[in-house]
Copies of this chain bind each other. A is one copy, B any other.
Amino acid sequence: MTNEDDFLKNYDPRAFAPVAVTADVVALTIRQDQLCVLLVKRARPPFNGLWALPGSFLRPHQTENGEQWESLEQAAIRALADKTGLSAASVPEILTGIHLEQLCSYGEPGRDPRMTVVSVAYMAFGPDFSEPSAGTGTSEACWVAVSALNLTAERQQAATEFPLAFDHAQIIYDGLERARAKLEYTGLATAFVKETFTLADLRRVYEIVWDTKIHPSNFARKLLSARHLLVATGENTSRGSVAGGRRSALYRRGASLVLMPPILRKELRHG
């Protein structure tokens, strides 16, 4: 393959017009009975002062073998770490118990006024990220209830306290749809709770993300009938709720991530 070798030696990557790639993260968690997304307040143009998803340009870093590029997923993790004031050292730590997955890519011309930017959006689900604090290029970072974003069915925003930069309203909208859909047929809800949890904890996740009430006993029957989704620890909670009540059994994530048969949202049933 000397042909291939010659070709590569003479290849000039800068012959192409520049495109930039970013990894943006839609991080979701549940706080105070509300579904919240992690946002940062931009401290520089473009969209200075508006709110945005934590994101980062895909970039090379130095290794002993010279310049080495990071993967999209690494860039997403770095965005989550940088912009929330977590040290790079704690990256493996914040990933413990945090579920990261790719959402979608966005590349409409003009979505970034600087140049053509393709953003690969990721989703992060977690029970409790550490308290955010502003990172480079941002003046603030906080968890914002998604209801406060006033997202419309057209994936835009109505008047809000948190105006979003770029096309991030659209990305967050898509991310929420993904999260709601995945609760139906996967064990994603377990990503929102701590390592051990009760069925009531899980039910609360569904009720908050879907904004519905769910019948407790049927819910328990359904989740426990899915094989290898939940594993009983044999332990119980140390006490009932403040208002009284029996102590409930504790569970842990099982080997399976699929919820079969699925729980279908009422509004979607019957097409």
Q: A17 interface residue, CB < 8 Å from B?
A: yes
Q: Which residue of B lies closest to A19 (CB)?
A: B21
Q: Mark A229-262, 1 if CB is under 8 A from B, else 0.
A: 1000000000000000000000000001011111
Q: A92 interface residue, CB < 8 Å from B?
A: no
Q: A66 interface residue, CB < 8 Å from B?
A: no
9-residue interface stretch from A55-63, A77-85, A190-198, A202-210: A55-63
Contact A107 B17 (CB under 8 A): no
Contact B107 A120 (CB under 8 A): yes
Q: A115 interface residue, CB < 8 Å from B?
A: yes
Contact B108 A13 (CB under 8 A): no
Quote the shortest CB–CB distance from A145 to chain B (angstroms). Answer: 28
Q: Which residue of B lies closest to A226 (CB)?
A: B271
Number of copies: 2
Instruction: Decide: A71 near B8, CB < 8 A? Known: A19-B20, A116-B58, A256-B271.
Output: no
Quote the shortest CB–CB distance from A24 to chain B (angstroms). Answer: 12
Q: Mark A159-177, 1 if CB is under 8 A from B, else 0.
A: 0000000000000000000
Contact A114 B16 (CB under 8 A): no
Q: A3 interface residue, CB < 8 Å from B?
A: yes
Q: A220 interface residue, CB < 8 Å from B?
A: no
Q: Mark A198-221, 1 if CB is under 8 A from B, else 0.
A: 000000000000000000000000
- Name the one of B4, B57, B260 contacting A46, with C-beta atoms under 8 angstroms: B4
Cα(A218)–Cα(B259), bound, Å: 24
Contact B260 A269 (CB under 8 A): yes
Q: A147 interface residue, CB < 8 Å from B?
A: no
Cα(A226)–Cα(B269), bound, Å: 10
Instruction: Decide: A113 near B8, CB < 8 A? Known: A48-B3, A58-B19.
Output: yes
Known: A69-B116, A260-B264. 15 other contacts (CB 8 A): A8-B114, A13-B115, A14-B18, A17-B59, A17-B60, A19-B20, A60-B116, A70-B109, A71-B107, A71-B109, A105-B105, A227-B270, A256-B271, A259-B271, A261-B269
